[in-house]
């Protein structure tokens, strides 16, 4: 009974989320959003790198930066996918209260709603990688890729990001106004603390612990190592740790943040019912 | 342990804390106070009250959307705040006067999705959807995107969503608000048919249309400013006024006749004067029918001519006036000016 409730919450939410997400009345907008935007972002990075390194695209550092940036797309996409559903259902479709009184698990429903953004996010990541390989001098030797490590890391990371999205969904629930971009905003704020395009060692000393505490740091490092191997000279942050140790830290922090997310979501849910916020709509 | 009661509340209260600003400090708003209600299985129970009475607040508490600040409530045998997961599979709710739903899904897809959240087998859900849409006259729009429906039709879709999951207890918050007369009639008939089909089904609806409450409900609770003032069958509620004789009199011209002059007559218990183009409409409540002679006498003295006169049965509106001291419309305009 429990699993079937969870499963149907998740399955129907994913179905709904996909219909909403893929409902691009304007295919042009879709192209801009999921292709042009990530590629132009990556292109800017490549140009900046080119200027700073005086065109040294052969350095192992380059794919490291490029991959970090590409996979970071997932962070905003997945976190927003989950947390945005609260705003969408409450403000836009006015259905959140009907979801709430239905016999479903709301957290699982919200996670399901995030699936669509995970899929469009994956397309964006893939296109960015492809563009990098084809046009922007990114070299990946596919024979040397550690696929097991890559997919394990990817899955753990996406689950971790979805749980962080749930945390943000809880916070959104208690905010009366339509703080819809909390997902993207958080992703933006964490960008510099995740070692995405530069090592944490560049940050002032007092800021570094934030980076060490973020699971995204370990996640990006492992994804890059699985694809191109370790680049210790340029990204020395985690050089002394083996893949397995980093995976351990990623899993540990993911479990920690997952538990915190569930706790915070429940608490916010409680507050929302105390204050009557579940069907609160702001007038645009 | 299936209890006979569909809904039970004990000293239920809800206070909203209003956020203060620089000029005003935090205030508390009592939306519900000491509500004690019991609704039996199979009943069609009505909550009748003006704007701001607390009807929606009560529904939100009973549907697990809002925590009470005092007392408790049980729906379908389970406590709404401590055991909401036991309540939810057995209830559903529809609020009128708003258009909710996923506009990019068709009517059928919207409804099907909700049926799936309740675990209704897909085939059965589709059959129910067709049958219910047929009943509200929306079947031919089944494959229309719900964004393309008029507000009234979308509300009908929403009403179907409530019935679709065959809840034990269904809450309808002003289901006919904003519908035209024909649609209103459809919905009311639909509600009655649905209840008739199964003796165990319970329905609680809120309204501020007196006639709707009178026509539909087995029992009505009259609620004002968060308090339940009376709760009984409409006929019983009206009986308490039956001893009075109610008259509607149209006169012309008014010739300085005032409400006070009418009230000064010993057997007149209530009088209302509403001026119209040709003179005035008077509503009088008399202790005895024979007192009418005295009133007519007063008219003669004042040279006021009676254009029409009719005796009328008391309505729930009169019950409300009797309980609150003013009409529901007056209560609402008063609420706004406060
Ligand atoms: N979320 C809220 N925060 C603060 N006050 C609220 C909130 N919701 C309702 N109220 C107040 O509580 C009182 C009862 O409101 P409620 O919506 O329950 O009335 P109602 O009987 O449904 O009225 P209506 O006929 O207008 O729908 C009103 O004074 C309203 O302003
Ligand atoms: Mg209301």
Q: What percent of chain A has pLDDT over 90?
A: 56
- Nearest residue to B8 (alpha-carbon basis) of B115, B87, B85, B117: B87
Pair of tokens at residue B78? 């389970």
What is the separation of C-alpha B214 from the centre of its chain, rounded to a whole number of angstroms? 10
Measure A147 CA to nearest chain B CA, in Å: 37
**CA pair distance B135, B142, nearest whole angstrom:** 12
Whole-number Å distance, alpha carbon B230 to ligand 1 midpoint, is 20
How buried is A241 (Cβ within 10 angstroms: 0-12 exposed, 13-18 middle, 19+ buried)? middle
User: pLDDT tens-digit profile of A237-278?
Assistant: 888 899 999 999 999 999 999 999 999 999 999 999 999 999
Whole-number Å distance, alpha carbon A36 to ligand 2 midpoint, is 47
Q: The whole model's pTM is what?
A: 0.88
**Which residues, including other chains, have CB under 8 Å from residue B25's CB and lie 6 or more apart?**
none
User: pLDDT tens-digit profile of B162-175?
Assistant: 999 999 999 999 99
Give domain limits for chain B.
Answer: 5-237, 243-313
**CA pair distance A212, A198, nearest whole angstrom:** 14
SS (H, E, C) B143-181: CCEHHHCCHHHHHHHHHHHHHHCCCCEEEEECCCCCCCH
Handedness of CA A239, A142, A219, A194 (dihedral sign): positive
- Kindly tell me if the per-residue pLDDT of B271 is higher than 70: yes
Polymer length in residues for chain B: 338
Whole-number Å distance, alpha carbon B49 to ligand 1 midpoint, is 12
For residue B91, which residues of chain A lie inside 8 Å, CB to CB?
101
Of B63, B113, B119, the CB nearest to A101: B63
Fold of B5-237: Rossmann fold (3.40.50)
B243-313: CATH superfamily: ACT domain (3.30.70.260)
Buried/exposed code over B246-280 (b: 16+ C-beta within 10 A; e: otherwise): bbebbbeebeebeeeebeebebbbbbbbeeeeebb
Q: Which pLDDT band holds residue A30 (cuts at 50, 70, 90)?
A: confident
User: pLDDT tens-digit profile of A195-230?
Assistant: 888 888 888 999 899 999 999 999 999 999 999 988
Would the CB atoms of B118 and A100 count as touching at under 8 Å?
Answer: no
User: pLDDT tens-digit profile of A148-166?
Assistant: 999 999 999 999 999 999 9
Q: Which ligand is nearest to the CA of B31?
A: 1
For residue A8, which residues of chain B lie inside 8 Å, CB to CB?
116-117, 119
Handedness of CA B117, A76, A18, A250 (dihedral sign): negative
Give domain limits for chain A.
Answer: 2-274
- What is the DSSP annotation of A16-45? HHHHHHT--S-HHHHHIIIIIHHHHHHHHH
Pair of tokens at residue B75? 């729906």
Would the CB atoms of B65 and A94 count as touching at under 8 Å?
Answer: no
| Residue B28, strand partner residues | B17
């Amino acid at each position: 009974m429990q699993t079937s409730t969870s499963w149907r919450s998740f399955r129907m939410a994913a179905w709904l989320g996909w219909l909403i997400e893929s409902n691009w009345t304007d295919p042009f907008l879709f192209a801009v959003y999921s292709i042009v935007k990530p590629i132009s972002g990556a292109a800017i990075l490549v140009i900046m790198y080119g200027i700073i390194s005086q065109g040294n695209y052969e350095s192992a550092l380059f794919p490291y930066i490029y991959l970090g940036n590409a996979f970071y797309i997932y962070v905003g996409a997945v976190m927003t996918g989950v947390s945005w559903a609260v705003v969408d259902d409450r403000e836009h479709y006015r259905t959140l209260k009907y979801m709430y009184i239905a016999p479903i698990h709301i957290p699982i429903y919200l996670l399901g709603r995030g699936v669509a953004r995970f899929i469009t996010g994956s397309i964006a990541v893939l296109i960015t990688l492809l563009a990098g390989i084809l046009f922007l001098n990114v070299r990946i030797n596919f024979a040397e890729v550690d696929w097991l490590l890559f997919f394990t890391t990817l899955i753990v990371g996406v689950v971790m990001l979805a749980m962080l999205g749930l945390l943000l969904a809880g916070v959104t629930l208690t905010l009366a106004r339509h703080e819809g971009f909390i997902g993207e905003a958080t992703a933006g704020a964490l960008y510099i603390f995740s070692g995405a395009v530069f090592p944490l060692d560049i940050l002032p000393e007092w800021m570094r612990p934030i980076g060490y505490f973020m699971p995204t740091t370990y996640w990006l490092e492992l994804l890059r190592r699985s694809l191109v191997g370790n680049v210790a000279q340029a990204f020395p942050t985690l050089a002394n740790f083996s893949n397995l140790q980093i995976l351990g830290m990623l899993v540990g922090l993911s479990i920690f943040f997952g538990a915190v997310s569930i706790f915070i979501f429940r608490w916010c849910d409680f507050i929302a019912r105390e204050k009557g916020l579940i069907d609160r709509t702001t007038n645009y | 342990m299936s209890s006979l009661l569909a809904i039970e509340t004990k000293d239920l209260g809800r206070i909203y804390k209003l956020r203060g600003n620089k000029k005003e400090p935090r205030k508390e708003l009592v939306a519900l106070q000491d509500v004690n209600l019991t609704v039996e299985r199979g009943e069609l129970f009505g909550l009748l009250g003006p704007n701001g009475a607390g009807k929606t607040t009560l529904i939100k508490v009973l549907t697990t959307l809002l925590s009470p600040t005092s007392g408790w409530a049980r729906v379908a045998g389970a406590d709404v705040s401590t055991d909401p997961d036991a309540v939810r599979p057995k209830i559903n709710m529809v609020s009128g006067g708003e258009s909710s739903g996923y506009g990019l899904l068709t009517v059928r897809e919207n409804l099907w999705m909700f049926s799936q959240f309740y675990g209704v087998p897909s085939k059965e859900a589709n059959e129910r959807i067709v049958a219910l849409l047929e009943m509200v006259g929306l079947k031919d729009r089944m494959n229309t995107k719900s964004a393309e429906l008029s507000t009234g039709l979308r509300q009908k879709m929403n009403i179907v969503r409530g019935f679709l999951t065959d809840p034990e207890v269904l809450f309808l918050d002003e289901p006919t608000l904003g519908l035209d007369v024909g649609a209103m009639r459809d919905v009311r008939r639909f509600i009655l048919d649905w209840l008739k089909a199964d003796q165990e089904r319970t329905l609680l609806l809120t309204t501020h249309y007196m006639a709707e409450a009178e026509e539909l409900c087995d029992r009505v609770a009259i609620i004002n400013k968060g308090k339940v003032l009376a709760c009984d069958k409409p006929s019983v509620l009206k009986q308490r006024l039956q001893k009075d004789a109610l008259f509607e009199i149209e006169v012309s011209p008014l010739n300085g006749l005032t409400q006070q002059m009418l009230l000064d007559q010993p057997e007149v218990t209530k009088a209302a004067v509403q001026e119209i183009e040709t003179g005035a409409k008077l509503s009088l409540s008399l202790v005895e029918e024979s007192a009418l002679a005295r009133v007519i006498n007063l008219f003669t003295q004042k040279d006021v001519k009676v254009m029409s006169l009719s005796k009328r049965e008391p309505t729930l509106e009169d019950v409300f006036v009797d309980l609150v001291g003013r009409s529901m419309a007056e209560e609402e305009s008063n609420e706004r000016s406060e």
